[in-house]
């Protein structure tokens, strides 16, 4: 019997389905990170003037970065709430909700009156909307990466899991590019209305993201694990804390260098270059954009490399790169040469990509299907409070206190060492079976590659 011409062979059909899900995860995550990074760029460059005008520039920036950090505090809450329902009801249903929450908050920031108009209510409302942004993004990441990883063939999980990770630099490129375009307006126009337009454009992007995500199928691993009535844990968050405490802690530690370094690269560098070195805002934004292009291309390469060599060796290489770059990074920035600033950022982005590329598959493989959304989200989001959320604030505070960047370099080296130890102590996961029920394997460096991590 011949196969009708309109029909696809099973392997081609599976590949097409996996590609569609990965692409949907990428686009949705890019939209979410556009919203999140837009805030970071604005906090570094203009929010001190709009919402904290009575303070000197560096103190105003510290306060703006404090509101930036609030979003990270809200992320674990979003991870717990959406992780719970994602493990109970499915991955797909949560993703559109997180996009809508993020989109509404970002759009509202674009409409927010400044301190001159409504006084203290301006920064208060800014914090509330930032909390909503963090809550939405906290639930977004776990669902997006699980959709990609759980749809992917076992030997390509690292590669397809890196697709939603590419959404971060894509969102940064979009946010920085749009913000850079409007920041070229005359200063009075930019302060009055130009900075608002990138936030208001979020409404269009959210609509596109929701439409695409509604067209993909639910995760096959989730459907297989929830066939029997009552098979889902009543409280996935409690179950994952009881069953996988070591995996959660080690995943948190694995994020310190990745998350902290990233927000130094994309936010603190803007403040450092503009306020300390007197560089043009456009020069700094263009260097971040140029480095982000390399970053975007490197993430899937490192994700694919982890399918061949394992998650730990690739991740460890990235953390080691961050450790080695901690001091040379600022030496290059301090030259005030656009080419060397771009080189410093690009080296940082490459080291970050070596961790970020395999991260989605690595964290997903640490947990069983029935609690995977909760476990991956907790490990990922809890660390963001202490790593990415605090990094720009800590770096700005250290710079103000010591008036030299070397304490910031020491801080960055410390983040890298935490990640090196955490990943070294973690078990290798790239040969894990994501659907076969078994007991959790011990999370230590001596664990083999065949231990299953499924909750029966």
Q: Range with the lowest mean pLDDT among 56-65, 162-171, 361-370, 396-405? A: 56-65
Q: Into how many domains does the chain fold? A: 1
| Whether 137 contacts 95, CB under 8 Å | no
Please tell me the predicted confidence (pLDDT) of residue 423: 96
Inside any domain, residue 444: no
Please tell me the predicted confidence (pLDDT) of residue 439: 44
Is 355 a residue whose pLDDT tops 80?
A: yes
Decide which of 66 and 171 is more confident.
171
Mean pLDDT of the chain: 82
Inside any domain, residue 177: yes
Whole-model pTM? 0.80
Is 228 a residue whose pLDDT tops 70?
A: no
Please tell me the predicted confidence (pLDDT) of residue 446: 44
Inside any domain, residue 344: yes
Mean pLDDT of 180-187: 82
Inside any domain, residue 158: yes
Token code pair at residue 116: 């001159």
Please tell me the predicted confidence (pLDDT) of residue 435: 66
CATH of the domain at 330: 1.20.1250.20
pLDDT band at 311 (very low <50, low <70, confident <90, very high): very high
Helix pair 157-183, 281-309: axis angle to 10 deg: 180
Is 320 a residue whose pLDDT tops 60?
A: yes
Please tell me the predicted confidence (pLDDT) of residue 12: 53
Please tell me the predicted confidence (pLDDT) of residue 324: 97
Mean pLDDT of 56-83: 77
pLDDT band at 447 (very low <50, low <70, confident <90, very high): very low
Please tell me the predicted confidence (pLDDT) of residue 440: 56
pLDDT tens digits, 273-310: 888 888 887 888 888 888 989 999 999 999 999 999 99
Please tell me the predicted confidence (pLDDT) of residue 106: 85
Is 131 a residue whose pLDDT tops 90?
A: no
Inside any domain, residue 442: no
Inside any domain, residue 120: yes
Inside any domain, residue 100: yes
User: What is the domain extent for residue 367?
Assistant: 14-215+233-425
Inside any domain, residue 7: no
Mean pLDDT of 449-454: 41
């Amino acid at each position: 019997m011949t196969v009708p011409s309109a029909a696809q062979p099973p392997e081609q059909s599976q590949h097409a389905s996996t590609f569609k899900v990965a692409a949907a995860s990428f686009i949705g995550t890019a939209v979410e990170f556009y919203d999140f990074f837009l805030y970071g760029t604005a906090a570094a460059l203009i929010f001190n003037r709009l919402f904290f005008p009575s303070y000197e520039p560096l103190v105003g920036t510290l306060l703006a970065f404090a509101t930036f950090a609030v979003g990270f505090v809200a992320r674990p809450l979003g991870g717990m709430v959406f992780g719970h329902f994602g493990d109970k009801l499915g991955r797909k249903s949560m993703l559109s909700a997180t996009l809508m929450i993020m989109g509404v908050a970002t759009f509202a920031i674009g409409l927010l009156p400044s301190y001159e108009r409504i006084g203290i209510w301006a920064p208060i409302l800014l914090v509330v909307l930032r909390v909503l942004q963090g809550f939405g993004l906290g639930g977004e990441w776990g669902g997006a990466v699980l959709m990609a990883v759980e749809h992917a063939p076992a030997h390509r999980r690292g590669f397809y899991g890196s697709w939603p990770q590419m959404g971060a630099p894509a969102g940064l490129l979009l946010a920085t590019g749009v913000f850079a375009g409007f920041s070229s307006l005359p200063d009075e126009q930019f302060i009055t209305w130009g900075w608002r337009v990138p936030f208001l454009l979020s409404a269009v992007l959210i609509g596109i993201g929701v439409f695409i995500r509604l067209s993909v199928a639910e995760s096959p691993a989730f459907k297989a694990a929830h066939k029997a009535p009552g098979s889902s844990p009543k409280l996935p968050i409690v179950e994952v804390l009881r069953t996988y405490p070591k995996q959660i802690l080690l995943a948190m530690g694995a994020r310190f260098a990745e998350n902290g370094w990233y927000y130094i690269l994309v936010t603190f560098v803007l403040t450092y270059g503009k306020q300390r070195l007197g560089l043009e805002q456009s020069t700094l934004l263009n260097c971040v954009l140029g480095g982000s292009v390399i970053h975007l291309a490197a993430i899937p390469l490192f994700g694919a490399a982890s399918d061949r060599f394992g998650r730990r060796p690739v991740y460890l290489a990235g953390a080691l790169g961050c450790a080695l770059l901690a001091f040379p990074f600022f030496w290059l920035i301090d030259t005030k040469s656009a080419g060397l600033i771009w080189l410093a950022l690009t080296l940082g982005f490459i080291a970050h990509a070596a961790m970020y590329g395999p991260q989605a598959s690595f964290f997903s493989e640490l947990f069983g299907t029935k609690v995977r959304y909760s476990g991956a989200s907790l490990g990922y989001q809890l660390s963001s409070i202490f790593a990415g959320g605090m990094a720009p604030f800590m770096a700005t505070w250290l710079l103000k206190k010591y008036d030299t960047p070397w304490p910031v370099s020491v801080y960055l080296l410390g983040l890298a060492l935490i990640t090196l130890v955490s990943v070294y102590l973690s078990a290798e996961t790239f040969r894990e079976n994501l659907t076969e029920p078994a007991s959790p394997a011990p999370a230590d460096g001596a664990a083999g590659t065949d231990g299953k991590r499924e909750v029966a």
